[in-house]
């Protein structure tokens, strides 16, 4: 079973402040790790998939900017910045349980509330 | 791009009645279809997946048939119980060329029993 730990599990974010999220992969033979995000009342949306330590990607979406970093073989990070005031955001990481086209296993996620 | 549309929630039913959550999808390629379930405080977890058209998937009394002609994947359960209260997500994936599939989710359908 592929296991993922995330921290923090929730965070109140002062307006204008960035927040850093961590995802730790406990058990998988496959290298890919991904981030998904979800606004309140909207669908879970894929953000990034990173394979190797040192990989980085950035993305700007309405309401937030994202920077993902693959730190090690087992750690993936996400920095979320410039979030809109009053926004509630859920971020979760995932890793495949098998090869290509196989099931994604998700971590418990982090809930962010922007003050 | 890919899209998934599902029954808008919340859905509330009496214990022992039948549940149907409709799901329709759009994609240019031949996808694998998934149903995920999410309980409070947890990440989405796989209910079941179906990679081939005209086949049925099932788990925990839930089932869905991959209907390629109608581009549908409706979730059904004959008799719901308290433990079924959760948010249900329909999703699809197709080869992304990155080595790890990327899921496109519907908005989710929250189901609970009438108290």
- pLDDT over 90 for what percent of chain A? 71
Residue written as tokens 């009053």?
A: A86
What is the pLDDT at residue B97? Answer: 67
Pairing of strands B11-13, B109-113: parallel
**pLDDT tens sequence across A42-97:** 889 999 999 999 999 999 998 899 999 999 999 999 999 999 888 899 999 999 87
**pLDDT tens sequence across B20-37:** 999 999 998 889 999 999
| Contact between B46 and A107 using a beta-carbon 8 Å cutoff | no
Residue A2: pLDDT band by 50, 70, 90 thresholds? low
Pairing of strands B56-59, B3-6: unpaired
| Contact between A101 and B51 using a beta-carbon 8 Å cutoff | yes
For the segment B73-102, the average pLDDT, to the nearest whole number, is: 89
Query: CA A88, CA A93: separation in Å to the nearest integer?
Result: 17
How far is B27 from chain A, CA to nearest CA, in Å?
A: 15
Q: Which residues of A touch B (CB under 8 A)?
A: 4, 30-32, 34, 36, 41-46, 49, 51, 92, 94, 96, 100-109
How far is B86 from chain A, CA to nearest CA, in Å?
A: 15
What is the pLDDT at residue B99? Answer: 64
- pLDDT over 70 for what percent of chain B? 96
Give the C-alpha distances (Å, rounded to integers) separating B32 from B54, B84, B90, B100.
12, 24, 11, 13
């Amino acid at each position: 079973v592929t296991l993922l730990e995330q921290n923090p599990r929730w965070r109140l974010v002062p307006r204008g402040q960035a927040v850093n999220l961590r995802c730790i992969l406990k058990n998988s033979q496959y290298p890919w790790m991904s981030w998904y995000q979800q606004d309140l009342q909207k669908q879970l949306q894929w953000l990034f998939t990173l394979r190797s330590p040192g990989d980085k990607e950035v993305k700007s979406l309405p309401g937030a900017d994202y920077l993902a970093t693959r730190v090690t073989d087992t750690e993936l990070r996400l920095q979320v910045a410039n979030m809109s005031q009053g926004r509630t955001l859920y971020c979760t990481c995932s890793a495949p349980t098998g090869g290509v086209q196989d099931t994604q296993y998700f971590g418990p996620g982090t809930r962010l509330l922007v003050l | 791009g890919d899209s998934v549309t599902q029954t808008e929630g919340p859905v509330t039913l009496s214990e022992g009645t039948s549940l149907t959550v409709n799901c329709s999808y759009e994609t240019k390629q031949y996808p694998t279809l998934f149903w995920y379930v999410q309980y409070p405080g947890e990440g989405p977890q796989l209910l079941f997946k179906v990679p081939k058209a005209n086949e049925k998937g099932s788990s925990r009394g839930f089932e869905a048939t991959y209907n390629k002609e109608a581009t549908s994947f409706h979730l059904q359960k004959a008799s719901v119980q308290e433990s079924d209260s959760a948010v249900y997500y329909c999703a699809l994936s197709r080869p992304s060329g990155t080595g790890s599939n990327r899921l496109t989710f519907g908005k989710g359908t929250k189901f609970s029993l009438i108290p």
